[in-house]
Amino acid sequence: MDIVVKKIGIGVIVGRFQVHKLHPGHLDLFNDVLNRHEKVFVFLGESPTKSTRNNPLPFKARKLMILESFPQVSVFEIKDVHHEELWSKTLDEKIREAYPEGPVTFYGSRDGFIPYYRGKFPTVELKARLNVSGSEIRKSISTQVLSDVNFRHGWIAACYDKYPTSYTTVDAAIINESDNSLLLARKINDPDGKWHFIGGFVDINLDKSKEEAVKREAMEETGLKGMGEPLYVGSAKIDDWRYRNEQDGIMTSLFVIRDFVGIPKAADDIAEVKWFDIGKLSEEVFVPEHVVLYNLLKAYLNRTQKNKGEK
């Protein structure tokens, strides 16, 4: 004789489900909760960031994925906030809006939302029968390129589902005070006779500050050592050819470096480095996108020279 389990109240699943398809562990979770309750609500956490490695899929895509396998559940969005109490209060309110009365039980895993929930409803920790990592799934498919119209469709959609990005770079005005000269660099693809400041992208995994980043870039591209403390000059948006007609772009910070050790030699992606007499510099020396930096430097040097004269 089969034992009939009476289903009561609402079972609530809270998660992210940031995978391309529900894995067996997810399927077990849904089936377990569906067997216990007459209704099941699913709340999908939505990060304020977009199209990142940990949160690549928007709410709508994950909702459709869940409903494909479990059309009988109701799927809602719960936005991430900084405070656990506020997040929990918002979650409780959303549940009561959809289900004003009756018992409610939350379900999750040890590594899920339960340790952060501060609301009023009881929680049940379900032990996973299968240990499947969403992070490992995303990593394993990250290099796969499919010959499929839906794959291309999704890739294009992901590029639009992101905020405009301001890429952070740093540039160095390396000055030799003994002969009032400025060190400039040239890449192999630079226009003939045009030079630019030495610099590059800030590496968020390596650099603790822009000052540290500009010293690193300067040493990598010139071979110079013993860099002194960089002095901030100013910042500017760069009309970099790689980002023209794009919503993204480069914002750079210019620093003066006066202390260093060694003789500069072109390194990294630099084809040539050369000292220029600062007094004979003009806009014509620079690649078009670095003219704005030259004018920042010129204004800075004029100010510092004036301040020295007043003293």
pLDDT greater than 80 at residue 270: yes
Query: Higher pLDDT residue, 109 or 279?
Result: 279
**In whole angstroms, what is the distance from residue 221 CA to residue 268 CA?**
5
Superfamily of domain 10-160: HUPs (3.40.50.620)
Domain boundaries, the chain: 10-160, 166-310
pLDDT band at 174 (very low <50, low <70, confident <90, very high): very high
pLDDT greater than 90 at residue 110: no
166-310 is classed CATH 3.90.79.10? yes
CA-based torsion, 233, 211, 184, 175: positive or negative: positive
